[in-house]
């Protein structure tokens, strides 16, 4: 489980062992190994792979998210859902549950379990978008697992006695007055059958579903439409859950309504929609100098405390015009979207979520699919088809590379060395751990910047990464002198960033012979491998894991030359 940046840090040990056919084997570190490897930074950023298939997510964990240091993935609701063929299979059919069977257009239960296991093996947790406020809101239909249902009757899951019938708005039971707390939490959200989450049976049934997911390895849950569920009902459901899953709750609180986000802090984190609105307003039509002006962006702007907040530039709702007014910056804004995400990942506030979308021309449009509504695969022959139909914003170089910046600077959760031209050029540091420059203007920014970084040459992570040997960069470099100063040019609508994890080494790379010994009994066809965070150990890619020798079976061995 991953917790908030000051507390949310899960340190990932470098040696993970696995056995083919999902047989897991623990690997005790040798003393020499422990000395040879440094503790990797905590993972402090998660991504929403909206409407991705489970088979694609598993490959994305192994080939990109694990090696890049992502903490977790928010996945679309995995349970059986409405099939809305007459509406051309829209995205919102996933938010109309029919049962709690793990069968959806993202895949089967077996594919889901395999995805969770493979992601966890490379250090990436799975957070499930849990739709527990309501069930499907049509009079009758068939779900993605073949279940036939009618409004208020979902065979094997709920019957008519398990719902609220508020009797308001001419008997439609729909919410019309968001200024009325009782109505918001007891009437229906656009005809969706509103579960009576105050009832023991409903609480128990929801907990059975969530515990089933926990048994498959799920580490956390986003509670959809939390504002429509009383905070004490969520608390009662949470008390029934096994272990300590990470919980974050969707509460759209822009002020002026009786239900506030603070009511839900006792259950877990909360989505801070004001963050998205204000960062979009500032980058789209404001001045970046405001971000550290009379009040610092964050609690100084009226947001909740950082440790309670899940933040994002955009999410699947507000990029479609839901969840607050105003212009929300999305992938459709191009370079502006890069800059807003760079700022979010560099600024010390909240637990950041990166959005990964698909292209859409109307607010209801579902994911890329065939004429029968079957979602198109992203991966083909091991290669992701990104940046056209599937936007894959998390793979945009400036955004993906800033994840490591966030991780590397997490222990200094404050800003330093703030600079601005008073308009739309800003720069700031994270103590001695990182420094970022953002130029929101059209002209080139030429300046010598005062940082707190140690002298040396660093990769500009907006343009590239540190090479595997640690002695060069795949893109531009930035030099910091002995006074902590860096002189550089940043063209219009661009940025530059450096951090301690991307500092070029001038020393020759040395290695230490490291022996892995593991006592493990296996059956014919099974082998023992080691995978870790350096190239010699596969860079967290299980496809490149190193096979241990069975010559001294049942003790498996391999000796590798590893960097110190």
Instruction: Give catalytic residues, as residue numbers.
Output: 224, 250
Structure tokens at 325: 């007014």
DSSP label of 183: H
Place of tokens 């023991």: 200
How many whole angstroms separate alpha carbon 240 and alpha carbon 187?
25
Cβ distance 517 to 30 under 8 Å? yes
- Which of 121, 125, 116 has the alpha carbon at shortest distance from 15? 121
How many whole angstroms separate alpha carbon 509 and alpha carbon 451?
28
Strand segments (E) across 108-242: 125-130, 140-142, 148-150, 220-223
How many whole angstroms separate alpha carbon 317 and alpha carbon 500?
36
CA 11: distance to chain centroid?
Answer: 17
First to last CA, the chain: 28
| CA distances (Å), origin 199, targets 195, 225, 238 | 9, 18, 14
How many whole angstroms separate alpha carbon 257 and alpha carbon 172?
22
Residues 6+ apart with CB under 8 A from 293: none
Residue 541: burial class (beta carbons within 10 Å; 0-12, 13-18, 19+):
middle
How many whole angstroms separate alpha carbon 4 and alpha carbon 335?
28
Cβ distance 32 to 65 under 8 Å? no
Cβ distance 47 to 74 under 8 Å? yes
How many whole angstroms separate alpha carbon 199 and alpha carbon 390?
41
- Which of 479, 422, 490, 412 has the alpha carbon at shortest distance from 451? 479
């Amino acid at each position: 489980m991953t917790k908030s940046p000051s507390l949310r840090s899960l340190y990932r040990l470098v040696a993970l062992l696995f056995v083919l056919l999902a047989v897991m084997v623990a690997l005790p570190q040798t003393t020499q190994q422990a000395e040879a490897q440094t503790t990797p930074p905590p993972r402090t950023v998660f991504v929403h792979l909206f409407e991705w298939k489970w088979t694609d997510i598993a490959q994305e964990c192994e080939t990109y998210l694990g090696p890049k240091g992502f903490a977790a993935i928010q996945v679309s609701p995995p349970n059986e859902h409405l099939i809305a063929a007459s509406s051309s299979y829209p995205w919102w059919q996933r938010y109309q549950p029919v049962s709690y069977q793990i069968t959806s257009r993202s895949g089967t239960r077996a594919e889901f379990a395999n995805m969770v296991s493979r992601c966890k093996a490379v250090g990436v947790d799975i957070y499930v978008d849990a739709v527990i406020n309501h069930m499907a809101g049509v009079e009758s239909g068939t779900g993605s697992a073949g279940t036939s249902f009618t409004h208020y009757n979902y065979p094997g899951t709920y019957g008519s006695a398990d719902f609220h019938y508020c009797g308001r708005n001419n008997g439609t039971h729909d919410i019309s007055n968001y200024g009325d707390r009782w109505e918001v939490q007891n009437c229906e959200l656009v005809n969706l059958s509103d579960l009576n989450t105050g009832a023991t049976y409903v609480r128990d049934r929801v907990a059975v579903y969530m515990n089933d997911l926990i048994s498959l390895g799920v580490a956390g849950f986003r509670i959809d439409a939390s504002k429509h569920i009383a905070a004490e009902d969520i608390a009662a459901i949470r008390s029934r859950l096994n272990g300590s899953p990470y919980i974050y709750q969707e509460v759209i609180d822009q002020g002026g309504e009786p239900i506030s986000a603070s009511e839900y802090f006792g259950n877990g984190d909360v989505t801070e929609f004001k963050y998205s609105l204000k960062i979009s307003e500032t980058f789209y039509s404001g001045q970046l100098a405001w971000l550290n002006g009379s009040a610092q962006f964050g609690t100084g702007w009226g947001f909740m405390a950082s440790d309670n907040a899940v933040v994002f530039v955009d999410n699947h709702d507000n990029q479609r015009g839901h969840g607050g007014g105003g212009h929300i910056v999305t992938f459709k804004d191009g370079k502006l979207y890069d800059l807003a995400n760079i700022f979010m990942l560099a600024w010390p506030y909240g637990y950041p979520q990166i959005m990964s979308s698909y292209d859409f021309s109307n607010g209801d449009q579902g994911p890329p699919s065939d004429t029968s509504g079957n979602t198109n695969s992203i991966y083909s022959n091991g290669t992701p088809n990104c940046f056209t139909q599937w936007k894959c914003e998390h793979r945009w170089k400036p955004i993906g590379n800033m994840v490591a910046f966030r991780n590397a600077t997490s222990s200094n959760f404050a800003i330093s060395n703030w600079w601005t031209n008073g308009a739309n050029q800003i720069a700031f540091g994270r103590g001695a751990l990182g420094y970022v420059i953002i130029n929101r203007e059209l002209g080139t920014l030429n300046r010598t910047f005062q940082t707190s970084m140690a002298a040396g040459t660093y990769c500009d992570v907006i343009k590239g990464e540190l090479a595997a040997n640690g002695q060069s960069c795949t893109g531009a470099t930035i030099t910091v002198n002995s006074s902590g100063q860096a002189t550089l040019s940043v063209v219009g609508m661009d940025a530059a960033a450096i951090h301690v994890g991307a500092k070029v080494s001038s020393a020759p790379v040395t290695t230490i012979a490291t022996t892995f010994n593991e006592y493990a009994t296996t059956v014919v066809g099974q082998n023992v491998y080691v995978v870790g965070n350096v190239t010699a150990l596969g860079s967290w890619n299980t496809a490149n894991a190193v096979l241990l020798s069975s010559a001294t079976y049942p003790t498996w061995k391999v000796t590798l030359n590893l960097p110190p």
